[in-house]
Amino acid sequence: MRYIEPHAHMVSRTTDDYQAMAVAGCQAVCEPAFWAGFDRSSAEGFFDYFRQLTEFEPKRAARHGLAHYCWICLNPKEAEDLALAGEVLKIIPQFLDRPTVLGIGEIGLNKNSRNELAVFERHVDLAARHRQLLLIHTPHLEDKLKGTRLIIDALRADGRLEPGRVLVDHVEEHTIKAVLEAGFWAGMTLYPDSKCTAARAADMIELYGRERLWMNSACDWGVSIPLAVPRAALELRRRGHSADAVDEVIYRNPARFLRQSDKFREFP
Ligand SMILES: [Zn+2]
């Protein structure tokens, strides 16, 4: 089996996790910038985090034969302090030309607040002006449907980004249709106790097809499984999906989306 892990927060994982992913057939891991579990107190904190994503993690992954890419942004959970957000938005452009940076992400909404939406729109502007791919986090549970609608409306209102260069992540049964119908890519996040299980992901693939769809583990410092993608592949095979169909979802699809950044190569 070969696969791409398109969304994993490896700064919170051990080197053993990199090794296990490589053994399971992972070819490349992509790491969006996120909330580290606590609020950073200064723009310098973000600067160092972006250095960790672009300098340290690629070296750690390479020791296990894994390519490591990342996405840069300020997470919606830290968007309430608009003065700090403004400072961080100013330092992001200097990282966009680094050789393993794929785009802006994971931006999005968390509580669907006015400040979150304002910072979301500033990131969209940055992506449009620097011609970057966009990776979008959608809120949890009861906020997800409203947040997904707000995100789609904001992207449509801006109008500068091609939907095929935007991936809306953490879709669930009640949001996947709107995302795909609007022309965006959709990501299913495999968590043991929230978001989406392997069985629910398989159901959604059976209902909506494989086009513009990927799966990720989004493994981080919380309860999550770094090998969730290959495990979901086993669930698909158990249900009778062909090896070729599974390869499309876990390898060719993410490769197709990510290759829109000329920095992405499966085997650098
Ligand atoms: Zn994430």
- Please write the tens of the pLDDT for every residue from 62-87: 999 999 999 999 999 999 999 999 99
Q: 138: CA distance to ligand 1 center in Å?
A: 10
Q: Where are the alpha helices (DSSP H) in 24-132?
A: 43-51, 57-62, 82-91, 93-96, 114-129
The answer to whether 201 and 190 are in contact (CB under 8 A) is yes
Is residue 263 assigned to a domain?
A: no
Mean pLDDT of the 171-197 span: 93
Domain residues for 184? 3-258
Q: Chain centroid to CA 263: how far?
A: 16
In a domain, 7, yes or no: yes
What percent of the chain shows pLDDT beyond 90?
Answer: 93
- 207 in a domain, yes or no? yes
Is residue 74, in this structure, part of any structural domain at all?
Answer: yes
In order, the DSSP letters of 162-177 are -GGGEEE-S--TTTHH
CATH of the domain at 107: 3.20.20.140
Query: Among all chains, which residue has been given the structure tokens 């940055």?
Result: 126
User: What is the whole-number distance in angstroms between the Cα of residue 189 and the centre of ligand 1?
Assistant: 9
266 located within any domain: no
pLDDT at residue 52, as a whole number: 98
Distance 106 CA to ligand 1 centre (A): 7
For residue 197, being part of any structural domain is answered with yes
What torsion, rounded to 10 degrees, do the Cα atoms 72, 15, 229, 244 define? 100
What is Dmax (Cα atoms) for the chain?
Answer: 53
CA of 7 to the centre of ligand 1 (A): 6
Q: Which of 10, 66, 35, 78 is nearest to 218 (CA)?
A: 10
Fill in the DSSP letter of residue 211. Answer: T
pLDDT at 198 over 70: yes
Ligand 1 centroid – CA 55 distance (Å): 19
70 part of a folded domain: yes
Distance 154 CA to ligand 1 centre (A): 21
- 160: CA distance to ligand 1 center in Å? 24
The pTM of the full predicted model, rounded to 2 decimals, is 0.96
Protein residues within 5 Å, CB atom, of ion ligand 1:
34, 218
Q: pLDDT tens-digit profile of 146-156?
A: 999 999 999 99
Residue 245 CA to ligand 1 centre (angstroms): 25
**Count of domains for the chain:** 1
Per the domain annotation, does 35 fall within a domain?
A: yes
136 CA → ligand 1 middle, Å: 9
